[in-house]
């Protein structure tokens, strides 16, 4: 059970981040829900920068689910090789697109639970899609969100599902979507895993790690 003081502190921290990063959006580039879905599947264990480079080539060659559903796995593997885990990703993407074509008229479902039943789509990917493509409140727990949630003392767990549930308890629903963006942005710009810029951090006064030094 979370105490009221935890919610007050979380609100204070996210207000600071909102002021620091007033304009946030996904770092993955996309022009429609389908591109966001495929790019997010590719982003597992891969940088968004790499995914964006691959995506530019991929979405020029394949326009929609039908094109992906008909490509051979080996051909797709060659195109997404640099994103890592290309064998499993290619397999999941093709199977996912076949389902989209057969069951959903080549449209990406706007329902969270439906998305999580698609090959290659877990809670994080489903959260990214419903939040950013359809504006449905959700919190996507990526590596930055996981790391900063622990560093800031919101929770001490490596379990993404527990972190997601914890943040949802701490924050009002209207702030769920941007909370992921704020933590990801701060993790990339300031609270860098290998070399955090603590002296430049706007959250220094709120950070248990900084205050312990």
**Active-site residue set:** 124, 142
Query: CA 1 to CA 169: how far, in whole Å?
Result: 9
Contact 172, 15 (CB under 8 A): no
Which residue is it, tokens 């195109």? Answer: 79
Q: Measuring CA to CA, which residue among 148, 125, 147 is closest to residue 138?
A: 125
Please give the radius of gyration of the chain, using alpha carbons only, rounded to the nearest integer.
18
Helix axes 33-42, 123-134, angle to 10 degrees: 150
Contact 46, 84 (CB under 8 A): yes
């Amino acid at each position: 059970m979370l105490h009221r003081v935890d919610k007050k502190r979380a609100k204070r921290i996210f207000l600071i981040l909102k002021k620091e990063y007033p304009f946030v959006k996904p770092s993955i580039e996309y022009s429609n829900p389908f591109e966001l879905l495929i790019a997010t599947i590719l982003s597992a264990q891969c940088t968004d920068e790499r995914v964006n480079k691959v995506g530019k080539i991929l979405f020029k060659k394949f326009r929609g689910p039908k094109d992906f559903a008909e490509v051979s796995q080996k051909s797709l593997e060659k195109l997404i090789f640099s994103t890592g885990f290309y064998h499993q990703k290619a397999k999941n993407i093709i199977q996912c697109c076949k389902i989209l074509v057969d069951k959903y008229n080549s449209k990406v479902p706007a329902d969270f639970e439906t998305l999580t039943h698609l090959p290659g789509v877990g809670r994080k990917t489903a959260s990214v899609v419903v939040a950013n493509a359809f504006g449905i409140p959700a919190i996507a727990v990526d590596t930055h969100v996981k790391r900063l949630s622990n560093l800031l003392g919101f929770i001490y767990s490596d379990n993404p599902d527990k972190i997601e549930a914890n943040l949802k308890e701490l924050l009002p629903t209207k702030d769920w979507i941007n909370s992921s963006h704020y933590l990801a942005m701060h993790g990339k710009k300031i609270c860098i895993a290998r070399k955090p810029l603590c002296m430049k951090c706007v959250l220094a006064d709120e950070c248990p790690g900084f205050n312990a030094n």
